[in-house]
Structure 1
Amino acid sequence: SGNETAESLRRAKEESESMSTLRYVLFPASLILAALFEALHFPWAEVDWSLPLDRSDGLEGSEKVDNTFAGLTVLLARRGAGLARIYFAGAGRVKGRCYLGLLVAIHLLGMYLDLAMFDFQQRYWNLYQQPSLPLFFELIRNWFILHVARMITYVYEFYVEDMLFLHWRDHLTRYFETIWVPSTYVFKMQEGKKFDNPDQRIHVDITNFISTSYSLTFGVLKVLVNLGMYTYMLATITPASMHWASLVGTAFLYSVVGSCVMHLLGSELAHYSWLGERLGGDFRAELRRVYDQSETVASLRSEEAELGRLQHRFERIKLNTWLSMLLEKRLGIFQKWYSPLREVLFMCILAPFFIRGEVSLGRLKQCETALDRISDALSFL
């Protein structure tokens, strides 16, 4: 026991010395360089920070963008369900629902394969503790079968999704075309209304709505199933000296803290994303107007004025992009710092049981995987 303790101390000292350059040189230098960059890089932006951007408070003809938690969850889901009902209660009543049924079946098959891989994981990692050449070849064969089955499921899942998306987009586009075309003149004649970028709304936003609403809906259903499935699996493989609820509680606390901080830091990104679409559409419309009136511009020699108008439009795009970049940087710093903590946190909880010999390496890896899936599900929700 004394020899083992001395050996452990020696290895710990070697680990400390191996990182001395990083600890005492590179790490402080990176902090200093980051601070200098933050202090000096803003003049290089060449952006007018005082330039006003479009409103998003529902006043003066602007569209209301609700950045609250309820606005980004419940209210957004309610509005999305109303738009989805146009398709699934109409042209997609039969074909669209058949696509959904097929996708549900594919997802269930994928979950079964995930469970098979979860069970396979224990035998795979235990091989490192109990080497066996015949077992190795059997594991490789089973891995190949699982890999091919998951590959086929993955490919056809996305293929059927594309079939659904195209059919959904086709009929939703036709629906809005019938609204837009007969009413275009009326829209132009109405005063006090701002109909921004209808081409983008019909061409781009329909596609984004379909893909986003589908991924969120199926994502919620999938994480709910995963949450129940892996919670049950974790309860069956947790070390005997620990209650499984404490592990689930740790994953829950980790996810809640991360989600709350991410919402506080990044809720304004929805606002800037909406502004980016509007400002980009306005810039394209201005370019198109100059092209359509090129003869008038040339005859009046108003090139400088038109260039000024175009640059003014683009300056607003630059400002909105910079504001988005600043938010994304803060989110990135937190995310890159917080996400790896999960691995260290779960390892600190589970590693002592492996060191004391209470669980095998395969069981340890299974617990880590189950905790990762539970944490991902809670973070998604």
Structure 2
Amino acid sequence: MPPQASPQSYRFALRHFYSLAKPYLVSEEKKKGWGLLLLVLAMNLALVWVNVKLTQWNGDFFNALQAKNFGAFKQLLLYFTGYAFLYIALAVYSQYFLQMLQINWRRWMTEVFLKDWLAGGTHYRMSLRQGNTDNPDQRIADDIGGFINGSLNLFFGFVSSLVTLFSFLVMLWMLSGAVTLFGITIPGYMVWVAILYAGVGSVLAHWVGKPLIRLNFYQQRYEADFRFGLARTREHDEGIALYNGEQRELAGHRDRFANVWSNWWGIMKRQKLFTWYSAFYGQLAIIFPILVAAPRYFAGQIQLGGLTQTAQAFGQVQGALSWFIGAYTSIADWRATVERLQTFVEAMQNAQSHPPTPTAPASAGLPSDRSSSAAIASAGVVPLRSARESVALG
């Protein structure tokens, strides 16, 4: 069963994340890792600063247009050019250094997992034990990369949203003024509207998107089972052909792909509903702040630049508060990936500390190394390929 989306499960996921991430952050590559991490973080914070300056520029620019001030118009265009080039450079290199950190971390973590998995026959003992670990190839090939990329993207997204929220809250509070409802004066009313809008949106997004956690969990498992079955067929192709087992293999592959098919349709239906909601929410967010601030503009309390600046600041606050909506499926996938990797680590540790009891006595004369044709032949067993070669030569 997939991990349930509860506060306790998220606490466990964070605890497991720490145990998975800590070895790299204290390893021999910690200086490079921490250096890249802090560099990308600084660039993300600089991007927030540029967004603040561009929002302020937006207000001044539209005020200059409304006043037909050509001198201010030309000067503001020069400012915009500088901000735009700075934003582009930060966006490009923050992504570049983030990818550098991702691949360095993945290379180190993959090496550690491969050594642990192949050390002392751990991979073989794991295959003999009953447990929840399935498809170790997917854990190493896919989940390590998914864990690293998901963790970093969520971390930087959360930090950027948090800094954006506090940066634009102050601006929106100063721009929105006060409104009187039922005899009560509400200062900074646009801030409260943004909080309400994002809060309701996040609750609805959680309700609509929650089933995607379970569906995505099973989809990854079904895809891995189908791929593993195909790999097993390729591995045992000779025996399957010898015993005419093609029809049985075909039936097994069909059954496994039927799970992929049916679960995918469940994802499609739920994703369609979630896309309906998120698209509606996003489109409404474009016009909603203008509608809320328009009464002050038509009352002459703010200029056109103040209206556009208020709308942009509202959008930044609402976007930061709604970060959970955009990252919902990413959080769900990340949590499932963390749990699968942690389960794999625990399975390796159990296999290393508690080897299974041999099912056949050593005196049977059959070697444990199945790859050694010489040892098998010495036990009186002729490998199938060797027998065929003998017939062909004889």
Range of TM-score over shorter length: 0.7 to 0.9
1:264 has 2:207 as partner: yes
Shift of 1:194: 4.0
1:369 has 2:312 as partner: yes
**Aligned partners of 1:348, 1:149: CA distance in 2, in Å?**
32
| Partner residue, 1:347 | 290
| Partner residue, 1:314 | 257
Out of 291, 294, 297, the position equivalent to 2:234 is: 291
| Partner residue, 2:123 | 184
What letter matches 1:232 in structure 2? V
1:107-186 maps to which residues of 2 (within 5 A)?
107-182=44-119, 183-186=122-125
Shift of 1:156: 0.6
1:18-97 maps to which residues of 2 (within 5 A)?
56=1, 64-71=2-9, 73-97=10-34
| Partner residue, 1:230 | 168
| Partner residue, 1:331 | 274
**Aligned partners of 1:327, 1:68: CA distance in 2, in Å?**
20
> Which ranges of structure 2 fall in alignment gaps of 5 or more residues?
181-185, 325-394
**Aligned partners of 2:32, 2:317: CA distance in 1, in Å?**
34
Kindly indicate whether the alpha-carbon contact (under 8 Å) linking 1:256 and 1:379 is maintained by their aligned counterparts in 2.
Answer: yes
Kindly indicate whether the alpha-carbon contact (under 8 Å) linking 2:290 and 2:307 is maintained by their aligned counterparts in 1.
Answer: no
Shift of 1:69: 4.8
| Structure 1 stretches of 4+ moved >6 Å | none
Q: In the TM superposition, what whole-angstrom CA distance separates every residue of 1:2-50 from its partner, at most 9, and x where no partner exists?
A: xxxxxxxxxxxxxxxxxxxxxxxxxxxxxxxxxxxxxxxxxxxxxxxxx
**Aligned partners of 1:377, 1:96: CA distance in 2, in Å?**
27
**Aligned partners of 2:8, 2:153: CA distance in 1, in Å?**
19
**Aligned partners of 1:346, 1:119: CA distance in 2, in Å?**
17
What letter matches 2:59 in structure 1? Q
| Partner residue, 1:204 | 142
**Partner of 2:300: helix, strand, or coil?**
coil
Q: What TM-score do the two structures reach when normalised by structure 1?
A: 0.78
**Aligned partners of 2:271, 2:7: CA distance in 1, in Å?**
19
**Aligned partners of 2:245, 2:312: CA distance in 1, in Å?**
65
**Aligned partners of 1:306, 1:139: CA distance in 2, in Å?**
70
Kindly indicate whether the alpha-carbon contact (under 8 Å) linking 1:103 and 1:161 is maintained by their aligned counterparts in 2.
Answer: yes
**Partner of 1:196: helix, strand, or coil?**
coil
**Aligned partners of 2:51, 2:77: CA distance in 1, in Å?**
17
Kindly indicate whether the alpha-carbon contact (under 8 Å) linking 2:117 and 2:123 is maintained by their aligned counterparts in 1.
Answer: yes
> Which ranges of structure 1 fall in alignment gaps of 5 or more residues?
1-55, 57-63
Kindly indicate whether the alpha-carbon contact (under 8 Å) linking 1:87 and 1:172 is maintained by their aligned counterparts in 2.
Answer: yes
Kindly indicate whether the alpha-carbon contact (under 8 Å) linking 1:259 and 1:379 is maintained by their aligned counterparts in 2.
Answer: yes
Kindly indicate whether the alpha-carbon contact (under 8 Å) linking 2:174 and 2:188 is maintained by their aligned counterparts in 1.
Answer: no
What letter matches 2:140 in structure 1? I
Kindly indicate whether the alpha-carbon contact (under 8 Å) linking 1:91 and 1:171 is maintained by their aligned counterparts in 2.
Answer: no
**Aligned partners of 1:356, 1:245: CA distance in 2, in Å?**
17
Shift of 1:233: 1.0
Greater Rg over alpha carbons, structure: 2
**Aligned partners of 2:193, 2:13: CA distance in 1, in Å?**
30
State how many pairs are aligned: 317
Shift of 1:297: 2.2
**Partner of 1:94: helix, strand, or coil?**
helix
Kindly indicate whether the alpha-carbon contact (under 8 Å) linking 2:230 and 2:253 is maintained by their aligned counterparts in 1.
Answer: yes
Kindly indicate whether the alpha-carbon contact (under 8 Å) linking 1:67 and 1:268 is maintained by their aligned counterparts in 2.
Answer: no
**Aligned partners of 1:361, 1:79: CA distance in 2, in Å?**
51
Of 360-369 and 89-98, the range deviating more from structure 2? 89-98
**Aligned partners of 1:128, 1:113: CA distance in 2, in Å?**
22
Kindly indicate whether the alpha-carbon contact (under 8 Å) linking 1:239 and 1:358 is maintained by their aligned counterparts in 2.
Answer: no
Identity level (%): 27
Of 237-246 and 269-278, the range deviating more from structure 2? 237-246
